[in-house]
Amino acid sequence: MIKPSLKRAVLVLADGTCFQGFAFGSMEKEVFGELVFSTSMTGYVELLTDPSYHQQILTLTCPEIGNCGVARCDAESDRIFAKALVVREISPMTSNWRADISLDDWLKEEGIPGIYGIDTRALVHHLRSHGSQMAILSTIQSADIFDLHQRAGQLQGMEGAELASEVSTKSPFEFTQGLFGTDGTQISALSKPRYHVAVIDFGIKKNMLRLLVHYGCRVTVLPSHALAHEVLDLKPDGLLLSNGPGDPEVAVAGIDTVRNLIGLLPIFGICMGHQVLSLATGAKTFKLKFGHRGANQPVIGDDGRVMITSQNHGFAVDDSALHASFKIAQTNLSDGTVEGLTVLDKWAFGVQYHPEAAPGPHDAQNHFVQFLSIMEMWKKTKSQNVLELEVVNHAEAF
């Protein structure tokens, strides 16, 4: 079986570590980004199209990638956001009835370079020991390693990087697509739209929107810079804060908007949205050494229940700087970092992981049902308050 190519490719880290292998995907290309790794065994289509990987070079720990080809309907956005792909082996053949194109050809089509034939175990061990760092991947045959090292060491890292505005929608739109089966056919929604949900897009994955539609929501997606009055003008029953790339502390517009909306309507934050929700009440975030990326992250709730979750983030909420109004609902079993928060008496909660699970697992998908329950309680409370106010006004009139 013939490999995609035997042309040279080189990956040079900011600290001077160098890996030489073979090129696949886009040839004669050079890209830079933060080098990170994911432990997911499946779902490379969803990972590559996740906007949270914007400005990052993705390493996959699964030793062989590409066997299943690419089913475009699995994409979480309209294009590949990862800057490059690093793997141990690229499969020379595709065997999947759902596939539209091979992984190698898809990367060529999207202009994304890749490197294979390197020891990804050694690379991941290095990142775990020394932390995620900036790197340059080049499939240019004449690339000079010393020059790449010099330039990689001068690259600005993710801290202070405002990237949400680069991947967010530029204008509001309605989203109506629900879930679909493995054969590509639409799955009927569980109910007709009962709730109107506004979504602030920091770099959202489509499956979050599909699940909202599936559970009976009318969905309006807003840009990352949406103002509080623009959200309220929609008269929504709830607000979803999405995932996204970059440093959450510099998402100033989103933080200010959420600060002005907390307590006025139900809010559900996912990943970066969870961090923005926390920052809006005065919390702090910090950069993790190498982040949490993969579909096997164990999370334990305050009820003792353990979930295996899908995660993709490089920052976390600092539990030492949390406001008294917060209750820590879940923590990471591996390192004890905050994974879930509830804002007491404010109809708001957030999770650091991905309950839409694309790719899986689906342990945490019930958070969408939780969000619906909160919106239902909020609507009833709101109606009761209006009724009580009408009664008081009527009594005062006599």
Q: Which residues contact 336 (CB under 8 A, 6 or more apart)?
A: none
Q: Find the catalytic residue in 214, 271, 274, 339.
A: 271
> Does residue 395 have a pLDDT over 70?
no
Chosen domain end from 106, 125, 152: 152
What was the pLDDT predicted at 384?
Answer: 65
Chosen domain end from 124, 152, 180: 152
Instruction: Tell whether 285 and 377 lie within a shared domain.
Output: yes
> Does residue 397 have a pLDDT over 50?
no
Q: Find the catalytic residue in 214, 292, 313, 354.
A: 354
Based on the residue annotation, tell me whether 125 is a catalytic residue of this protein: no
Instruction: Tell whether 143 and 196 lie within a shared domain.
Output: no
- Dihedrals phi, psi of 354, to nearest 5 degrees: -110, 95
- Into how many domains does the chain fold? 2
- Give the structural domain span for 352: 164-383
Q: Find the catalytic residue in 76, 249, 339, 356.
A: 356
Instruction: Quickly state the pLDDT bin for 2 (edges 50, 70, 90).
Output: low
Query: Which CATH number belongs to the domain containing residue 195 in this structure?
Result: 3.40.50.880
Instruction: Tell whether 175 and 139 lie within a shared domain.
Output: no
Q: Which of 75-79, 280-284, 320-324, 368-372 has the lowest mean pLDDT?
A: 320-324
Task: For 226-236, write each residue's pLDDT tens digit.
Answer: 999 999 999 99
Instruction: Tell whether 197 and 261 lie within a shared domain.
Output: yes
> Does residue 243 have a pLDDT over 80?
yes
Based on the residue annotation, tell me whether 271 is a catalytic residue of this protein: yes
Query: Which CATH number belongs to the domain containing residue 59 in this structure?
Result: 3.50.30.20
What was the pLDDT predicted at 323?
Answer: 79
Instruction: Tell whether 138 and 175 lie within a shared domain.
Output: no
Based on the residue annotation, tell me whether 225 is a catalytic residue of this protein: no
Instruction: Tell whether 245 and 359 lie within a shared domain.
Output: yes
| Cis? peptide before 223, omega within 30° of 0 | no
Is there a contact between 102 and 69 (Cβ–Cβ < 8 Å)? yes
> Does residue 388 have a pLDDT over 80?
no
Which is nearest to 260 in space by CA: 284, 236, 237, 229? 229
Instruction: Tell whether 19 and 60 lie within a shared domain.
Output: yes
Task: For 281-290, write each residue's pLDDT tens digit.
Answer: 889 999 999 9
Tokens representing residue 63 in the block? 């030793």
What was the pLDDT predicted at 398?
Answer: 38
> Does residue 244 have a pLDDT over 90?
yes
Residue 10: exposure state from Cβ atoms within 10 A (0-12, 13-18, ≥19) = buried
